């Protein structure tokens, strides 16, 4: 029997584990190790600060569905791996593997600039989203300027844009919009770059949104420092801020950083082939955020990264599952799909409005790419959330 250990239980890890077991059946033992007992639909965290969602609405316990599908779930923190002995060390003991899948997700680099950790909020975790909820309630009583955006080296610009437009909508609902100067700051070369070198008419569309909603913006800037009441930019400009929400960069988690035999790059990501097999370790694979993604473009002034969202994570999880099973069966023809050739499929919420983003490739060159605004309601975003939670609660990882 072949044993595969999967580290991480979010989009990429859950998908890989369920697919390996579904197709490998009794010939394959799958162990998923994760320090969180819950699966969380991370894209909906942007709604939590506004009470449009509660945590229970977008999460569920993963152990039951994993065990039902034949995957062993270990609720533990993975500490390190020795790829020579093929042993994963965890807080619940050691586990040996024939194949290892690293799908650990990110660690947020809050020390990217002084004051980011202390004086800015981050919507990308349950704790951060709930703290923002409390901060917005307090903000209503004493409105002031708001700064929202991304720091240098960040790659999750899309979620920051979503939070920006949701805040603007919330300010109008609270009838305090005229009291608030709203700022957007980004390292992007231009509005709507998104870390994928933009989309047709994307910059024009976002400039129109900024003008329509009276949002001030700064592009090609880094965060030099965040203070209790301001954000200081690399340009030297100091923007007063009563509430700040920033998306810092991601780096590899401690498990990867503490495992020198994984040969991670300086940011803690794993170098992989187009098959998502490690370039130096034949029985080690990476999926989702753990994958090293090289940018096909140069940033003009301020460095930023490519997005690593749910759809590419889900896709790479499926590719890894297929390739592990092919390898075990002696099939040397593996599935290849570079990160940049995964289709770009995204719905960007814009405060009960939305923008549908489609392209045949995430990175250029593309033969098809389009951004479609929906100014009536964000029903596509809601349908996507409901669908993904429905299929995930049932362990239907094979579904698109």
Average pLDDT value over all residues in the chain:
97
Calculate mean pLDDT across residues 133-138: 98
pLDDT band at 197 (very low <50, low <70, confident <90, very high): very high
361/90 Cα distance (integer angstroms): 37
pLDDT band at 398 (very low <50, low <70, confident <90, very high): very high
The predicted pLDDT at position 393 comes to 97
Domain 110-248 class?
A: alpha beta
Q: What pTM did the predictor assign?
A: 0.96
Calculate mean pLDDT across residues 228-233: 98
The predicted pLDDT at position 193 comes to 97
pLDDT, tens digit, for every residue of 348-388? 999 999 999 999 999 999 999 999 999 889 999 999 999 99
pLDDT band at 144 (very low <50, low <70, confident <90, very high): very high
pLDDT, tens digit, for every residue of 159-170? 999 999 999 999
390/198 Cα distance (integer angstroms): 31
Query: Would you say 93 and 43 are in contact if contact means Cβ atoms under 8 Å apart?
Result: no
CATH superfamily of the 2-108+250-340 domain: FAD/NAD(P)-binding domain (3.50.50.60)
The predicted pLDDT at position 355 comes to 95
Region(s) of the chain under CATH 3.50.50.60: 2-108+250-340, 110-248
Q: Return the ∠ at Cα 300 (arms to 112 and 110), rounded to 5°.
A: 10
149/220 Cα distance (integer angstroms): 12
């Amino acid at each position: 029997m072949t044993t595969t250990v999967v580290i991480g239980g979010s989009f990429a890890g859950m998908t890989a584990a369920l697919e390996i077991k579904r197709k490998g059946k009794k010939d394959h033992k799958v162990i998923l190790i994760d320090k969180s007992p819950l699966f969380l639909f991370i894209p909906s965290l942007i709604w939590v600060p506004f009470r449009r969602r509660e945590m229970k609405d977008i999460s569920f316990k993963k152990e039951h569905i994993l065990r039902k599908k034949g995957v062993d779930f270990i609720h533990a923190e993975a500490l390190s791996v020795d790829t020579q002995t093929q042993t994963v060390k965890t807080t619940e003991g050691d586990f040996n593997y024939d194949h290892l899948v690293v799908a650990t997700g990110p660690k947020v680099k809050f020390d990217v600039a002084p004051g980011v950790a202390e004086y800015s909020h981050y919507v990308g975790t349950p704790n951060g989203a709930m703290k923002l909820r409390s901060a917005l309630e307090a903000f209503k009583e004493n409105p002031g300027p708001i700064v929202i955006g991304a720091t240098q080296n960040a790659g999750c610009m899309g979620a920051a844009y979503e939070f920006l437009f949701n805040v603007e909508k919330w300010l109008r609902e609270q009838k305090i919009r005229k009291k608030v100067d709203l700022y957007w700051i980004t390292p992007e070369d231009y509005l709507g770059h998104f870390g994928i070198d933009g989309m047709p008419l994307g910059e024009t569309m976002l400039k129109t949104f900024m003008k329509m909603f009276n949002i001030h913006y700064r592009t090609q800037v880094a965060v030099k420092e965040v203070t209790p009441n301001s954000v200081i930019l690399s340009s030297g400009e100091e923007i007063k801020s009563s509430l700040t929400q920033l998306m810092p960069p991601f780096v590899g988690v401690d498990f990867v950083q503490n495992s020198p035999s994984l040969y991670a790059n300086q940011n803690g990501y794993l170098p992989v082939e187009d098959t998502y097999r490690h370039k130096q370790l034949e029985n080690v694979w990476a999926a989702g955020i753990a994958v090293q993604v090289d940018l096909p473009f140069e940033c003009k002034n301020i460095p930023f990264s490519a997005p690593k969202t749910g759809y590419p994570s889900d896709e790479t999880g499926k590719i890894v599952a297929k390739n592990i099973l092919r390898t075990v069966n002696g099939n040397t023809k593996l599935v290849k799909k570079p990160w940049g050739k995964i289709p770009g499929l995204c719905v960007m919420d814009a405060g009960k409005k939305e923008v549908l983003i489609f392209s045949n490739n995430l990175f250029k060159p593309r033969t098809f790419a389009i951004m479609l605004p929906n100014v009536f309601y964000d029903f596509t975003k809601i349908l996507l959330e409901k669908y993904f939670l429905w299929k995930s609660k049932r362990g239907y990882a094979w579904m698109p």
